[in-house]
Every structure is written in C-alpha cells, then in structure tokens.
Structure 1
C-alpha cells in the first residue's frame, strides 16, 4: 500500500512537471511569435520537419497554438527526404497521419550531390544545409506557403554566434525571423526563446519517433561540439549566462562596437552648443597647474 502511494505520488510529480514544461515552452514560443510578428492572419506555415526532437516539438506547439491563437493560420508539415542510406521512409508519413494534418514528403537526392562534392572525412553539414534550404525555399512557393518554420532553438542561435565570432570573425547569429536574400521567402524560428535542455525533456515525455541526423555518416562539426561543451559548462557554473548572451543580440549598440558601415565613426564632430548633461562627479577642483589662464585657448563657437 505504501509503495503504491509513493508510486502514485511520483506519477503526480511527473505529471505536474510535464504540465509546467508544456506551459513554459508554449509561453516562450508564443512570446517569440508575438515579439517578431512571426505569424499573421491568413498565413500558411510550412513546418520543416527533419525527424529530430526540435522540429517535432515545434510542430506540436504550433498545432496547439493554432487552436488558441487570435489569428487564423494553416500548418503544413514538410519533410525533405534527402535519400540518405537507411533513412526510415515510413516513420514520418505514419506520424503525420496519426496527427491527421496535411503534409508532404519531398524527395530530393542531395545525399549524392554532397558525397560527390565533399572530400571523404570532411563534414558535409554545410553543403547539405544549403541544398536543403534551397529546396525548401522553392517548394514553399509551389504550395503557397507564406512562412517557413525551422526548429532552431536558443542554444543553436548562441552556438552559431560564437562559431561566427571564433572562426569567421563576424558578429552574427541566426535571427528569429529572416527574409531570404531574394526576398521571396520568410523564415521563422518559433523556438528561438526555448532552451535545448527543455526540448530534450519534452521529447522524452512525448516519445517522438526521432530519426538520427547522422545517417549520412557525417559527424557534427567539431567546432560546434566545442561550443556546445562550453555552453554546457556555463549552464553548470554560471546559470543564466547563455540566456544573457542571447539577450545581448537583441540589445545592440552600434556606436559601442567598431563596424564603420553600421556607425559613422569617421565623422563625429563635437557640438558644445547643445544643452549640457550633468556629468557625475563633474565639480572638479584644480589643486595645481603651471598654465596661465591667459594662455588657455577659447575653443567655444557659435552654432
């Protein structure tokens, strides 16, 4: 009897934790959508589903929000079958059918292209990603999708920021909302405010039919692995640091950086005709000088 009571209590705790996590993730996705106006009335959202935990979670939350959102929008699940050897083609159609949602499985043999172009032993992720993106952009137009939803989360964005800083000498990441270079498509990342650790817990609870990303034999970029390890250590030793890094890319001061294209550092004339701010500790007292006041140059000027 006691054991049954303890087991019931544990189940209740799990149910409560799951309820809190569900509310947390949906709230964060809802806020990201609102902050960046990701979804508008009448939108057709093409949810790109890879078979990984993140895209499954994104689809799940978008479908839930669809029922309660103040605007009407459609969600179409799209998977790009890149013809990787061993890819379980039946899993995603079966899953989509179980949800009773519209979906497409798009066949595109990018695997052969990548293998032909990337030397053995080198990571294929970069080229694979570009080919996949091009296919999704084109297909979005074919089906009349107005937005393409990708499953990148906060950790992905912060990792990309540091990868660009450390190895590309660029201060850029992945924005929550992006217009393609040709201006024909808009990409949204509804999970931008979500941490990967929460999505892992969510996927474990939901028991998604996850398809591994390494079917092609390519391992994740070693540089990204190092960045992931760094963020993991920060979460242990300095909780909140990753979130603060993400917040920093939302709070940018171009004049405090060094990009001459973003801020005109070359032309910064002083203007002492404007109203003077009261500086802190501005009541200076000169205790000693060897300069005769008659020698001080008058640098004031009229507007």
Structure 2
C-alpha cells in the first residue's frame, strides 16, 4: 500500500531527504540499450542540467546527486526558511523561470494592479508559489516531467517514462545524511561505471571537484559544506569537505560480495568524529536503498518520528 507523502516528508522532523526515481521503460534512461543498439548516454546531461537549474529556482538545496543508467539519486535539504525570507517579487521571478505566470502577477511586478481585489488575488498566488518553492513533490515533478517530455519526443512515443512516484527517505541526523550522500556519490563506483568518485561523470562529487579545479570552491547550485561547526540556520552541510573526500575514499575501498566495484582503503578522521565504526557505517550505506525504508536515524529518533506522526510503525533504518 502506498504511503501518503505527508507521512514521509515532514519538515518538522527533518529537512534532509534522499530521493530516487526510476525509469519504467526497458530502453533505459541514459544507458546503452543492447536490444536496439541505441545509446541514451546523452540523457545523463539532461538530468544533471535540470537538477542544477532547479537548485537555483527552488528553495531546496542539493547536497548530492548521481545519474545512473535507469535511475537517479538526489540528497536534498528543504530550506523552508529561505522560501519564507524571499520577497514577493523574488517568488514571482523564481516561479516564472520555468512556469507560466498568471497575468495578475505580471501586472503585480509592473506595479499596475489598481483594485484591492486584484491585489488580494495576486497575493494569494504568490503565497501558493512560495509554498511550492519548498515543496519536494513539486521540484521532483518539474524534474521528472521535463525529462519525460524530452525522452518521449526523442523516442517518438507517449506514455509513462518514470516508474510511478519518486521514492523518498527521511534522513533524521547527520550520520544518516552522511551515509546517504556517501551512498549516492559512490553509486557509479559500486556499479563499476567509474573506477573512482572523481572520475564518475554526472555526479555531485565530480561537479564539486570540477568547480574547485576552476577555482570556484563552492558551486552555487549545490549546498556547500560548512565545516565542523553546527550552525543554527543550516547554512551548509555540517562536515568538512576534505574529510568527506577521505570518507568517500575509505568507504569506496571496502569490498562487498553483492557489489561489483570498489576502490582502495584508508581510514579517515571523520569516522571517529561521528562516533561510529567502519562496519556500522558500511552497513548503513548498503541498506540506504532497502525496500520500504522511508526513515533513517537512531532508534531514539525513529521513535520520536513515529510518535510525531502518530503511527504504530514506520519503515526505517536504525543507526
């Protein structure tokens, strides 16, 4: 039975989520179709470019992403406070970048509204768009719909391109966030598509490293690493980027029988900083995409989430 999105995305519990969307057609999202002999690799760039564009429009910060052959992963931070701080004009401008604006809001931007009823109607639209700008469902809809349209035109067909709704997992603490990001950034390595994270194309880790090579330490489209400090307003991912790179290298070097690819191993300092051992963290990374796992966190936090949602049971990964 499908779980209502309101029971899996609750910003009062956590702003961090891991999302996955899978292609429904045998012809793949971005890979090579051996049956038809066609390559769809160019579609990886479609997905990546759309993710980066939406990251500049929505108040949903992209922490990590990886575009695979028949699915993609996203780890995001839903920034409700950022949306609330936007002016009405900023809301309209953001929404209008990829959506058609109502004539009332166009006139509102030009200061042409005269009557109180027009102003109230325009304000109602602005308030609605403001809420949508931090809606994970709306962002995923704008991402998937655009890719589906392009793929259907290219394939000369109609119908569903994606496998129903996107899957989401709530990340209840920093350890869960780190596990999800590590899992996503290492996806091409585990699938034996790339030998190392830095050589995996169409991933967030590759995009961050390429930005550094161009002397742009913090790419504007991605949520930045803020270091070890715990900031009250969540201005960035609460880890040091260099240590995160060491962590990727460490986890990626661990071999598992059910995974094809790996890299060599060194133990990073961050493992001690988050108070977890290597085996526990590897188990979390492996289980992060388990069936029906919608919440990730400690036993105490899972209990708190269950109580908040007034649910007898939730499907989660206990750290």
TM-score where L is the length of structure 1:
0.29
TM-score (normalizing by structure 2): 0.28
